[in-house]
Amino acid sequence: MSEVTSRRVVLQPSGVEVIFAWFQRIISGYCLLFGILYWIRLIGFYPGSLWRFDLMPVHWQVTAVMLAVFFPFAAAGLWMLASWGPVIWFICAAAEIVMYAGFPELFGHRPLIVVSHAGVALLYVVFRLVIYLQKRSPRT
């Protein structure tokens, strides 16, 4: 058997890469849900003092509009497994972390959102590290 026929390139993704793809698609669903919730807030579908655009303070108007656009955009990128999807998600997550952890007097204190974004970011880094180490290790 020649060396050319004995060496095959495996093009199938590893198990970790498949799980990572599904992880991104699950996060995509959450991003779409968050985007819809921000759109509900903008159009005033839900009764409440901060649930209509014209009644919101300016700081809520700016962040709600930005996140209403970015979250569905991140959802599309994550679902398609595009390289820009996690970047847009990171912008959304960083904005909400700054909102709820940095300015709780303006936006309220929502530690569950802050912790969930940090947890997703940590899982993302772990997945990327494991995939990197898998590809780096020589296969026999």
Residues spanned by the domain of 106: 14-136
Q: pLDDT, tens digit, for every residue of 12-26?
A: 888 999 999 999 999
Q: Does the model's pTM come out above 0.95?
A: no
The residues near 49 (Cβ < 8 Å, ≥ 6 apart) are 55
5 in any annotated domain: no
130 in any annotated domain: yes
Q: pLDDT, tens digit, for every residue of 78-120?
A: 999 999 999 999 999 999 999 999 999 999 999 999 999 999 9
Does residue 80 contact residue 74 with C-beta atoms inside 8 Å?
Answer: no
3 in any annotated domain: no
- What per-residue confidence (pLDDT) applies to 97? 97
Number of domains in the chain: 1
Does residue 111 contact residue 49 with C-beta atoms inside 8 Å?
Answer: no
- Kindly give the residue spans of alpha helices, DSSP state H, lying in 1-140: 3-6, 15-43, 58-79, 85-97, 104-107, 111-136
